Structure 1
Amino acid sequence: MLQRIQSVYLFICVITAGALPLFLNLWTNKAKIEVMFTDYIAYVILFASSALLAAVSIFSYKNRQNQFVINRLNMILNFILIGLFVYHSLTLSGEAQVSEKGIGMLLPIFSIVFLALANRAIKRDEDLVKSVDRIR
């Protein structure tokens, strides 16, 4: 059952949270030094746990309700990550510290979109199974 569309969405989420942060910078400070997610341990933990939750969700395809809950928890984790990015960029003293935001700050938003699409597909599968059970 790994060929379902929600597995594809979750695999994209694993790539977005697990591999892309290694190559994309979060921001560039005024000294033109690129700040990566590996510079902050909280970001490393949150990105890694988001990728791990998505991978666990891919392989829990037999229990759709559990998969749905894992995806919801992953969304909450990504919202926390967005909150940390916003907090970090707003508490610094304006353009004196952070001069250019990187694409890496948008990765949790992409993950949330793919998680929402996966949850929608899981819900559709669950509704299909319930409708078949009614016929019997």
Structure 2
Amino acid sequence: MLQRIQTVYMAISAIVMGALPFVFSLWTTVDKKEVFFTASLFHIIMFVVSALLAIYSILNFKKRQNQFVLNRLNMIFNFILLGFFVYRSLNLSGETSVSEKGIGMFLPAISIVLLVLANKAIKKDEDLVKSVDRLR
């Protein structure tokens, strides 16, 4: 059913990964130039894939197990993106090209939290359906 709480969590996750990268910069260079996710093809692909997976998972509301797996896959994509951001920010020595980290670097972490909450709600629904099946 579309009116469940996990749908809200996944919709917010899709908005976080699909719309907010246009608003918040990933980092600011030394010459005060803001770098958005569109600067790299890898960033574009990862943000778009994550947003589309969340939307596809919402539309797969009749198959709860499939939704659960898609959310886990989405979390893996977000962990890869977050790891790339951490590597990039820690690998640069002496603040050569990244002067200030932006809020955009933490969008995958927000999405991961929302997807974990959605998976908990999906698991709760699945347990409820299994308990009702036992009573029949």
Q: Pick the TM interval, shorter chain.
A: over 0.9
Which residue of the partner structure matches residue 55 of structure 1? 55
Which structure 1 residue ranges, 4+ long, deviate > 6 Å from structure 2?
none
Q: Deviations over 1:73-104 (max 9, x none)?
A: 00000000001101111222232221110000
Q: How far apart, in 2, do the equivalents of 1:94 and 1:58 lie? A: 43
Which aligned pairs between 1:1-136 and structure 2 lie closer than 5 A?
1-136=1-136
Task: Give the drift of 1:21.
Answer: 0.2
Amino acid at match of 1:6: Q
Q: How far apart, in 2, do the equivalents of 1:19 and 1:94 lie? A: 32
- The two structures, once aligned, show a CA RMSD in angstroms of 0.7
Q: How far apart, in 2, do the equivalents of 1:116 and 1:2 lie? A: 18
Q: Deviations over 1:12-44 (max 9, x none)?
A: 000000000011100001000000000011000
Q: How far apart, in 2, do the equivalents of 1:2 and 1:63 lie? A: 12
TM-score when normalising by structure 2: 0.98
Q: Unpaired runs of 5+ in structure 2? A: none
Q: How far apart, in 2, do the equivalents of 1:94 and 1:25 lie? A: 21
Q: Deviations over 1:84-129 (max 9, x none)?
A: 1011112222322211100000000000000000000000000000
Quote the sequence identity (%). 65
Q: Unpaired runs of 5+ in structure 1? A: none
Amino acid at match of 2:106: L
Q: How far apart, in 2, do the equivalents of 1:112 and 1:7 lie? A: 15
